[in-house]
Amino acid sequence: QASSQASSQASSTSAAPAASSVNSSSVLAMADSLTKMHIPYVWGGTSLSGFDCSGLTQYVYGHFGKSLARTAAAQAAQTTRIPVSQAQPGDLLFWGEGGGVYHVAIYVGGGSYIHAPTEGQFVKYGSISGWAPSFAGRL
């Protein structure tokens, strides 16, 4: 049985996704499902009872083996910065600059993103044309 557990652990370890292999369609499917659950914005929230922006991205990517920092600014520092015009589905979008980054969302393509916007709202879709991010970041 110990041998069986060891090989099971080895196969689960090798099956864990590397940062660069996070499947963006899986990330987007999970994020989309959260928009249908009426999860409220909660400052500091990191669970299905409520999310803030970085709690949402941390939660979604964490389910696919990618550990993200707790704040939008720290998450921005974990990414390779790219122009918003070059963002691909699954990339992160950021508002603000440098240590003043104050919001993060998951880009879904077509000028849309999923985010936890602000008090009194739920996890939902947003549009770049309605509120343009400052830059994008690739994990």
Q: Where residue 21 falls among pLDDT bands split at 50, 70, 90?
A: low
Q: Is residue 104 part of a domain?
A: yes
Q: Is residue 12 part of a domain?
A: no
Say which of 94, 115, 135, 136 is annotated catalytic: 115
Specify the pTM. 0.85
53 is catalytic: yes
Q: Where residue 62 falls among pLDDT bands split at 50, 70, 90?
A: very high
Say which of 53, 68, 76, 108 is annotated catalytic: 53
Write out the residue range of the structural domain in which residue 41 sits: 22-138
- pLDDT for the residue numbered 139: 95
Give dist(CA 36, CA 122) in Å, integer: 9
Give dist(CA 127, CA 45) in Å, integer: 23
Q: Is residue 83 part of a domain?
A: yes
In sequence order, what DSSP letters do the residues of 37-66 get, joined into one string? TTPBB-TT-EETTEE-HHHHHHHHHHTTT-
Give dist(CA 91, CA 113) in Å, integer: 10
Q: Is residue 1 part of a domain?
A: no
Task: Look up the CATH number of the domain holding residue 95.
Answer: 3.90.1720.10
Is the pLDDT at 133 greater than 50, yes or no? Answer: yes
Say which of 68, 92, 103, 133 is annotated catalytic: 103
Domain count, the chain: 1
Is the pLDDT at 22 greater than 90, yes or no? Answer: no
Q: Is residue 15 part of a domain?
A: no
38 is catalytic: no
Mean pLDDT of 15-40: 82
